[in-house]
Amino acid sequence: MKVLVTGGAGYVGSHVAWALREAGHDVFIFDDLSEGHRPAAGGMPLVEGDLLSSEDLGRAFKRTGAEAVIHMAAKCLVEESVREPALYWRINVAGSLRLLAAMQRAGARLIVFSSSAATYGQPDREVIDEAAPKAPCNPYGTTKLVFEQALIDHAAAPVFTTAPAPAANDKAAAAATKPSAAKRAHGKAAGKGKDKDKAKARDGKGEPGESVDAAPSLLGPGRLGYVALRYFNAAGAHSSGKIGEDHPVETHLIPNLLRAALSGGARPLKIFGSDYPTPDGTAVRDYVHVEDLASAHVKALEYLARGGESASMNLGTGRGSSILEVLEAAKKVTGRDFPAERAPRRAGDPARLVASNALASERLGWRPERTLEDIIASAWKWHSEHPKGYAGK
DSSP H or E segment with residue 172:
helix 166-176
* Total chain residues near ligand UFG (CB under 6 A): 21
276 is known as an active-site residue: no
Axis-axis angle for helices 139-156, 96-106 (nearest 10): 20
CA 288, CA 236: separation in Å to the nearest integer? 8
CA 231, CA 193: separation in Å to the nearest integer? 26
For residue 177, state whether it binds ligand UFG (rule: CB under 6 A).
no
For residue 183, state whether it binds ligand UFG (rule: CB under 6 A).
no
For residue 162, state whether it binds ligand UFG (rule: CB under 6 A).
no
The one-letter amino acid at 373 = E
**Neighbour tally for 279: CB within 10 Å:** 11
The residue annotated as part of the active site, out of 11, 120, 140, 287, is: 140
For residue 83, state whether it binds ligand UFG (rule: CB under 6 A).
no
Smallest distance, ligand UFG to C-beta of residue 96, A = 16
Contact segment (CB under 6 A) with ligand UFG among 88-96, 97-105, 150-158, 245-253 equals 245-253
Distances (CA, A) of 115 to 118, 225, 227: 8, 15, 9
For residue 73, state whether it binds ligand UFG (rule: CB under 6 A).
no
- Paired strand residues for 305: none
For residue 285, state whether it binds ligand UFG (rule: CB under 6 A).
yes
- Applying CB under 6 A, among 205, 270, 306, 336 the residue interacting with ligand UFG is 270
For residue 251, state whether it binds ligand UFG (rule: CB under 6 A).
yes
Contact segment (CB under 6 A) with ligand UFG among 156-164, 296-304, 346-354, 355-363 equals 346-354
Smallest distance, ligand UFG to C-beta of residue 178, A = 34
CA 102, CA 104: separation in Å to the nearest integer? 5
Please say which residue, 142 or 310, places its beta carbon nearer to ligand UFG: 142
Smallest distance, ligand UFG to C-beta of residue 361, A = 21
Binding mask 95-134 for ligand UFG (x = CB under 6 A): ---------------------xxx----------------
DSSP H or E segment with residue 256:
helix 253-262
* Cα dihedral across residues 18, 20, 23, 24: positive or negative: negative
Contact between 186 and 25 under an 8 Å Cβ cutoff? The reply is yes
Output phi, psi for 29, to 5 deg. Answer: -100, 135
Task: Give the active site residues.
Answer: 140
Residues contributing to the site for ligand UFG (CB under 6 A):
76, 78, 116-118, 140, 233, 251-253, 256, 269-272, 283, 285, 323, 346, 349, 353
